[in-house]
Chain A
């Protein structure tokens, strides 16, 4: 499989298809992360598209020392933060009503699927109550799977800060989830 560096070099040489491969490689991952970060599939799609366009335009300024996805995610994160100031009211990520996208686990058994969707809804509800700072680290780590180093690069903070912030975010999410579960049982 062609790695990112080769694709970038090919794109810089004028092969737009190579950049298309980069887009296809990372578009879903970035989009999924942005969906949970922004809470709106439409906003997430706009942000992801803008991020890829900016990456294309600025590709020559990309420093290969950092990973392409880290660089791309940073662009997307900054774009998301800018767009959040003027975005429309947050829409709940309801995959059942999101005709343009499809859940990865659509093939699961109906019972399991309902249970998962119910739990997912509760987790999302708790996640949305967190501060943007806490939600971001949780999404980056547990939804997107970034390691601490990548998170530190993306957020431009020390690794130690990532560690402590992530732990506090988890404690906050646990408390919020307990509240949600208690509310559902009552």
Chain B
């Protein structure tokens, strides 16, 4: 029997061999004394194992098991087959314990815990922990600088403001949130002397002169405040709201990019964390005659610069008499025409009537929120990625020069992405002009899929083409690019339906404003507000913190 399987010996020993197998084994053993020896050794081994000392558990072990089992059933910890309810019922039957008796207190405890967590999240949103925020301003008289915020800027700021009564019905924040906001500790840092009634039935009340002045004062003060130190704005408090929004560097809350306007150009810069990017960026701004405005003494200039002619004149008067309100600002037209929810305190404008008209048309709660979302997401993403925000307000040539230098310095600024406001044709032109250089600096961004938005010379006859969202799934797409894409994709989707009408109206209003501005100042160029987001990105793990293409950004629906 040359093909004897030795494994049969174990089966034979264990009594697991069939009759035929037993016969084969016995025949083999009769002829093979070595196999008999092996079988005896295996038998001895088996006996040794069988005689290993046996141990016992305590007699009350079963009781312990039952107690723990019922506890597990009640807490559901061991449930993974979806039979929780049946097991709970069984445990109740067995123990006489009723889960129903626990339901209410547990539910209340859960609600309390959820409320606490919610408060923690909201509080964290109001106090961004890491993102630094700075304000840089080009001084009057800088190259290409017209020395003042144009009427267009004022109108855009006014138009962009999403706060006020118009937002309340659809906003996530209800009256309770407004109440909470009104009691924010930083109210003391905002103009409060003329604090008007909050949003609600009073939303159509005209803006008072004092409120406008308070807004300007808020602009000057808040420019020196760290962004995270300013609390949520009372939605109905126009003066505070203006101060927060126009002051930049202020707290941001969900759905409310109140520190910038929706007309702000956003520039994302991925920087090397080991480089002194902050100093380099400051030098870069200074070399383009953009002052780093951190000193309180310069805040007056900031406020001054953000005023149009009329407001500027009044601001000078305000500065001369200290903290008095800007009672000299006269805006009869604005009062008469502007809806409450587009009130702004940045000065009278030559086209305030138009702004009021546009406010009625474009500042619906939904529309405003959509337009603001780009900045909300930029802000929140910046906070999450430990970025630093620098708001720059300068002339268009200055901004272009800054972008150009950013593009050159690829050692510190690893990638630069320009994200214009959707309804700002000049910004979009700037984006198209700069995009090639920027894209070559960060090749992965070529697959972002961001549509190169066309700003029609004439009002478009058809809605703009939808964003090629699927194009973002390129293999070479970095996660940062994906994030940027996602941001844009979302904005495109949200704004697509209104874009055609918006572009036409903006173009027309801009032409009107430019004409008014030229007439008033003789200056051709306008100033841009740019939010630079400096994101430290590790060389070893580029853009690991940003979601990849196809993933949802931090605030996407």
What is A's interface to B at a CB cutoff of 8 Å?
A: 11-16, 19-21, 23-24, 27-28, 31-32, 35-36, 41, 45, 48-49, 52-54, 56-61, 95, 98, 100-105, 116-117, 119-120, 123-124, 127, 138-139, 141-143, 145, 147-148, 163-164, 166-167, 170, 173-174, 177
Contacts and interface: CB of A to CB of B under 8 A. Distances in A.
Contact of A61 (B6, B53, B81, B90): B81
Given A57-B79, A57-B87, A167-B10, A142 B42 contact: no
Contact of A23 (B10, B49, B61, B79): B61
Given A53-B72, A56-B73, A123 B52 contact: yes
Interface in B416-465: none
A27 B54 contact: no
B57 A167 contact: no
Contacts of B31: none
19 contacts: A14-B93, A19-B69, A20-B63, A56-B66, A57-B78, A59-B90, A61-B81, A100-B58, A104-B56, A105-B53, A120-B53, A123-B52, A124-B52, A142-B49, A143-B49, A143-B50, A147-B14, A164-B7, A167-B10
A119 B69 CA distance: 39
A117 B57 CA distance: 20
B45 interface: yes
A123 B7 CA distance: 22
A85 to B, nearest CB: 19
Contact of A102 (B46, B56, B61): B56
A133 to B, nearest CB: 15
B28 to A, nearest CB: 14
B95 interface: yes
B45 A41 contact: no
A15 B94 contact: yes
B55 A170 contact: no
B51 interface: yes
Interface of B: 6-7, 9-11, 14, 16, 41-42, 45-46, 48-59, 61-66, 68-70, 72-73, 78-79, 81, 83, 86-87, 90, 93-95
Contacts of A120: 48, 51-53
A104 B83 contact: no
Nearest to B9: A167
Contacts of B64: 49
**DSSP class of A's interface residues: helix, strand, loop or mixed?**
helix
Contacts of A138: 49
A35 B41 CA distance: 25
Given A28-B55, A170-B45, A173-B45, A56 B50 contact: no
B7 to A, nearest CB: 4
A143 B7 CA distance: 20
A52 B10 contact: no
Contact of B62 (A20, A147, A166): A20
Contacts of A21: 62
B49 A116 contact: no
The 7 closest A-B pairs by CB, nearest first: A14-B93, A142-B49, A16-B94, A56-B69, A23-B62, A167-B10, A101-B55
A137 to B, nearest CB: 10
B4 to A, nearest CB: 13
A100 B61 CA distance: 11
Contacts of B55: 28, 31-32, 35, 41, 95, 98, 101-104
A101 B65 contact: no
Contacts of B14: 141, 147-148, 166
Nearest to A55: B69
B215 to A, nearest CB: 61
Given A16-B66, A28-B54, A102-B55, A163 B78 contact: no
B95 A32 contact: no
Contacts of A11: 94
A111 B229 CA distance: 82
B61 A49 contact: yes
A101 B56 contact: yes
Contacts of A167: 6-7, 9-11
Nearest to B6: A167
Contact of B57 (A60, A101, A105, A127): A101
Contacts of B78: 53-54, 57-58
A61 B82 CA distance: 11
Contacts of A36: 52
Nearest to A166: B10
A72 B354 CA distance: 79
A60 B85 CA distance: 12
Contacts of B58: 100
A48 B61 CA distance: 10
A9 to B, nearest CB: 12
Given A20-B63, A167-B9, 4 more contacts: A20-B66, A27-B61, A27-B65, A100-B57
